[in-house]
Amino acid sequence: MIEARDYVKKIRPYKPGKPIEEVVRELNLKGEIIKLASNENPLGISPLALKAMKKAVEEVHLYPDDNCYYLREKLAGRFHVDSENIVVGNGSVEILPLITLAYLGPENSAVVTAGSFIWYKIAVNIAQGELVEVPMKNYRHDLSAMLKAIKKNTKLIFLDNPINPTGTMVTRAEIDEFFKQVPDDILVVVDEAYYEYIEDPNYPHAFDYYKKGKNILVLRTYSKIYGLAGTRLGYGVAKEEIIANLMKLRVSFNVNRISQIAGIAALDDYEHIKRGRHINEAGKKFLYDAYKDLGLFYLPTYGNFIFVDFKKDSQIVFEALQSKGIITRTIKQYDFPNALRITIGTEEQNKKLINALEEVL
């Protein structure tokens, strides 16, 4: 039997939240199943995107536009950049290994925060780069420690803002100081998967730094507020030469026809975004009070999920909730053995979650 290379054996694969179908199959559950595991939009898909997709279904016998021309043009117009500054991926996660394959090798290192989105580590390992992990400080990126972790061979720094799975963010003042000290030959990858949910004036929009000429690659996704997680669609924005390198490494036709058309339509669905923010903010307030009443430790969030620590093995709580038809997410893979990451749902879903937790605890 042929064996994989040693570096492949060492990769810890990503474990997504359990899909509803799997839970029903495993536990033979009846009735409504509430999934609060993957930070999907509880309102569902953007209505404008759904309308466009229904029409696009009739054209699936045709290959998609390999260069995503119209989607890139739409994004370029929205963010006032050139289309050559944009790469589109089968989810923003697909772009991560393209970045590391383009800029890392066994002789290079990348700096990441331990406990942040695990795909950064996987992408570094795929490129056989050296992984330099910096501990969190108060559940946040420790930017000072990350700067100190930079070595002569460092090529990449990964920052998710807010962090998945803690929901915490770093501020504009902190990022301003950070970029003053990052060497010019290092590419900073800033993942803003949840930026549409944030209204805090101290949030540092990564596009501001891109437009100032910083060596930055901004990642965003359609999987959250737009309700398009199932279409797998994300994009990155960076200097033209960086995007050109990533385009060389991607698989042909990596973004399907329906996803491209949905992405174009969803960008104009301002009402869906507004409703998504509103329900998320209302859900935060309700859940904060409820977790406090239950005596649970939680982190105020800048995303559409909340980090909740139960001070005991989270698997116990996870399984108990799952038996009641509520799917949450353990984050032991992120070295938080006692915590769950729980998506903020609709008002009805949030109430059912708390009722179930009262019984479980």
Does residue 22 carry a pLDDT above 90? no
Helix (H, G, I), strand (E, B) or coil at 180: helix
How confident is residue 95, by pLDDT bands cut at 50, 70 and 90?
Answer: very high
Domains of the chain in sequence order? 17-45+270-360 (3.90.1150.10), 47-266 (3.40.640.10)
Q: What's the first-to-final CA gap in the chain, in angstroms? A: 49
Does residue 229 carry a pLDDT above 90? yes
Separation CA 70–CA 205 (nearest Å): 24
Tens-digit pLDDT profile for residues 104-132: 999 999 999 999 999 999 999 999 999 99
How confident is residue 335, by pLDDT bands cut at 50, 70 and 90?
Answer: very high
Q: What is the pTM of this model?
A: 0.95
Separation CA 356–CA 71 (nearest Å): 42
Does residue 30 carry a pLDDT above 80? no
In terms of Cα–Cα distance, which of 18, 13, 57, 21 is closest to 40? 18
Does residue 18 carry a pLDDT above 90? no
Does residue 291 carry a pLDDT above 90? yes
In terms of Cα–Cα distance, which of 90, 46, 95 is closest to 68? 90
- pLDDT score of 20: 83
For the chain, the average pLDDT equals 96
Separation CA 277–CA 33 (nearest Å): 23
Q: Per the structure block, which two tokens stand in for 292?
A: 């406090």
